[in-house]
Structure 1
Amino acid sequence: MEFVPMLWSTNKGHDGNKFLADAKGAKVLLGLNEPERVDQASMDPALAARAWKQYIEPLRAQGARLGSPAIAFSDEGLNWMQQFLNELDQVGGRIDFLAPHWYGRVANNFINWITKARQRFGDRYPV
């Protein structure tokens, strides 16, 4: 099984430079754990885009695929992701795929939400 590192946050004492060092050689990386939630990474889209550019984007040079910040299953998460992608475009970064979180138990709710995410972002990024 392959280890896929995630930069959890650059807030709350998380060290982006340590992440950069630890993630060397990884083939796939994930960025930021539920940044739209104050009880998780708690980062606004502009701050998250700058952190992405500084700590995650450099790993693309080693051939890594970069998965998006992992938003939670809500419209708030989808809105945050749209703002993040807009900010990321401005700083010259990019993601390779969307990596959302889902915690529900009802399959139809998951299907409906992931369909909404695909309608919003699927033409540009695989989910």
Structure 2
Amino acid sequence: MLLMALLISAGFLCFLGLGWSTLAGYRLIKALCEGVVRKEDTKTIEDEIATRSRMLKAYEKLTSIVVASVFLSELERQRFAIDVGYTVTFLVTLVLLALPVVNVLVWSAFFGATLFMFVLWALRFSAVKAFARAFEG
């Protein structure tokens, strides 16, 4: 009987040692929620949770990932519109190629658009590469 009590207490103490931070965390969550219900200032409890949380320590990186992802998505939508415009410019250049009077004007506009597209694609690839490097794993 004494041996069983010792084993029970040893198991309890072992898991208490492993999971005391979980118990403290539940206590903090309970205090935070009760403070919200009572409409009290919960800033100190929030700060304590932020210092104990492993995931919140990466909060700034998560925020950066979200902001960069949203802006990259918006840029990709705009780039798609630019690609459509470039395709139209290419098709107009091909159609007007037969006219010798407009030939130089059309080619110069197409050449300028092509230079812009090269710069756009180079910056796009470098931005995506930097995004992948910054936020991998």
TM-score, scaled relative to structure 2: 0.21
Q: Which has the larger radius of gyration?
A: 2
User: Whose strand proportion is higher, 1 or 2?
Assistant: 1
TM-score, scaled relative to structure 1: 0.22
User: Whose helix proportion is higher, 1 or 2?
Assistant: 2
